[in-house]
Structure 1
Amino acid sequence: MLILVVGVGQHVGKTKAVEEIVKAFRGEGFSVEFSKPLATLNAFYHEKAFERILEIGEFVSHDVLRVSELVKGEEKLEILNPVFSLLLPIDLEAVDWNTTSLESPVFQTAVVRIEESIYVVEPLSRFVKSFLKRVERILRNREISKVEIESVNDLLLSGRDASNEILKKLKRKSEILVVESSGNLAYPNEESLEADKVVIVTPGKYFVCDGERYRKAAEIAGKLAYLRCEDVVEILKPKKGYENIKNLIKKELLNH
């Protein structure tokens, strides 16, 4: 069974929900695997997660680190989180006070990792030096490729396609595959949209719906590569929410 976990808005508690789902199914004796196909980390706004990256010397989502410890699988972090982007703070003085750059995630992207390949987005002179120097410690002994800002979107889309194949393999290897979406994306890649069940996380409440129903709503909403979860749930209007994720798991997932 493939369970997709999505969030209405960002930072609403998707990873907490994933952890509880993983623990519940493992407790029932199922083989469980986890994946976060796409992940983005803003080093300025998530300082603790950024410090964790510097500590382990790997460009990987801190959410993946948390859940992988529960799964205790054999898969490499690059497989559990095939596409990762690191955003660094822009030095406004260096970009002639172009404040619109603060609204562009692509312009703030410094490093992209697709599986084991690492790409550095130039020019690096646009970033605050103290943050850049810390990242360069990890890059120092790595084989890297340099790309221009204009290539970032195409690069991420190619990674998204590659993550589909990884998800197919993980699904074949486990009885339960739990997939966490990124931010408020309605789905991280095409394969994840083939979910049997979709858990929708909102501030303070959790919902679940049938995967086919969710797919149809996504198609009505436009099925864009970066479709927002908000656009899908406005069509779905899910009912019977739970304030406790454990109750949802017991009544809606384990019994199915």
Structure 2
Amino acid sequence: MNLLVAGSDRVDAGKTTFTVGLLAHTGARGFKPRAGNNYWFDHDDYLRATEEGRLYGKDAERLAAASPGDVRPEEINPIHRLWHPSPGPSTGLLGREDQQFVVDRVGRDGAGEFVVNGTVDVPDGVAERLPVEAAPRVTSVPDFNDLMSAMHAEALSDLAADVAAADRAVVESYGDVARPLSGLEPDAVAVVEPGRARFYDGRRYAKACEIATGSPGDGQLEERVDNVVDLIDRTGAVRLPALDGETRADPEAVAEAYDHAYDALLATAFD
């Protein structure tokens, strides 16, 4: 059984909280193909990881902790992007007005390989804490896409094989991207936003991803959730109550609070 959790808001849709509760509810292993955090706004998370010469974020850490067994964040999150606030009105290498890409970690072991944005000043702490001195530097989107077609695609392909082989897997997307793994056809999909979750048949959702018009984002063409779900009917929807911080920090407590949503998602998967 493979389930996909996507979000209709670019940030703070509630995907990770929904996903960790779903892992507790089903006993599945979580996967986060792509993730990212910000050197400035998530500095404590950045420091905690890079003190060990690693780069990962709290979302992958939460999914790893909620998954069965002893799982490292990098095992379930092969690509992590470090951002930095973008000064001035420039949109930067990847077209973002609010933040600029600094470095990618690519790979599923603790060290991984790194790719550096050659058009920005890399913070001193990054160079001191991560092995980026000999990493490839990209200066244009075409160059970056060429590199991603090799390094990033291989890392995602390895993860996709693990997802396919798992008895129970939950894949969490990032931002408002509809499908974080090319070719993924889940049994059911939950689209999460503040206060609500909508459910979709996985096969129909995957087909809609194939025909949806892609838009440039994050260095490659990606389908956005709203473009995809506009093409298909949902199987159901439920309200999600707001959760306090103590509840959000406990996967079992989230599983209890969102029990009705998980039952509806599983009913779609097994319909």
**Common fold, TM-score beyond 0.5?**
yes
- Aligned match of 2:194: 203
- Aligned match of 1:21: 22
Residues 142 and 100 of structure 1: is their aligned pair in 2 closer, same or farther, counting only changes over 3 Å? Answer: closer
Runs of at least 5 residues in structure 2 that lack an aligned partner in the other structure? 216-220, 241-257
- Aligned match of 1:252: 265
1:109 alignment partner, SS class: strand
- Aligned match of 1:215: 206
The answer on whether the counterparts of 1:102 and 1:108 sit within 8 Å (CA) in structure 2 is yes
1:99 alignment partner, SS class: coil
The answer on whether the counterparts of 2:213 and 2:223 sit within 8 Å (CA) in structure 1 is yes
Q: What is the root-mean-square deviation of aligned Cα atoms in Å?
A: 2.8
1:42 aligns with 2:42: no
1:135 aligns with 2:126: yes
Question: Equivalents in 2 of 1:46, 1:166: separation in Å?
Answer: 26
Q: Which amino acid aligns with 2:63?
A: V
Residue 240 of structure 1 deviates from its aligned partner by 2.7
Q: Which amino acid aligns with 1:66?
A: R
Residue 138 of structure 1 deviates from its aligned partner by 1.6
Residues 88 and 178 of structure 1: is their aligned pair in 2 closer, same or farther, counting only changes over 3 Å? Answer: same
1:120 aligns with 2:111: no
Residue 197 of structure 1 deviates from its aligned partner by 1.0
Question: Equivalents in 1 of 2:230, 2:210: separation in Å?
Answer: 13
Question: Equivalents in 2 of 1:33, 1:157: separation in Å?
Answer: 27
2:208 alignment partner, SS class: helix
1:194 alignment partner, SS class: coil
Question: Equivalents in 2 of 1:223, 1:124: separation in Å?
Answer: 27
1:179 aligns with 2:180: no
- Aligned match of 2:2: 2
Runs of at least 5 residues in structure 1 that lack an aligned partner in the other structure? 27-31, 93-97
Q: Which amino acid aligns with 1:80?
A: I
- Aligned match of 1:169: 162
Question: Equivalents in 2 of 1:52, 1:207: separation in Å?
Answer: 35
The answer on whether the counterparts of 1:112 and 1:118 sit within 8 Å (CA) in structure 2 is yes
Residue 53 of structure 1 deviates from its aligned partner by 3.1
Question: Equivalents in 2 of 1:162, 1:114: separation in Å?
Answer: 7
Question: Equivalents in 2 of 1:238, 1:63: separation in Å?
Answer: 27
**Aligned pairs, number:** 238
Q: Which amino acid aligns with 2:177?
A: L
Residue 121 of structure 1 deviates from its aligned partner by 2.2
Q: Which amino acid aligns with 1:214?
A: Y
Identity of aligned residues (%): 26
Question: Equivalents in 2 of 1:167, 1:103: separation in Å?
Answer: 25
2:237 alignment partner, SS class: coil
1:64 aligns with 2:56: no
Kindly report structure 1 stretches of 4+ aligned residues shifted beyond 6 Å. none
Residue 237 of structure 1 deviates from its aligned partner by 4.4
Residue 253 of structure 1 deviates from its aligned partner by 1.1
Q: TM-score, normalised by structure 2?
A: 0.76
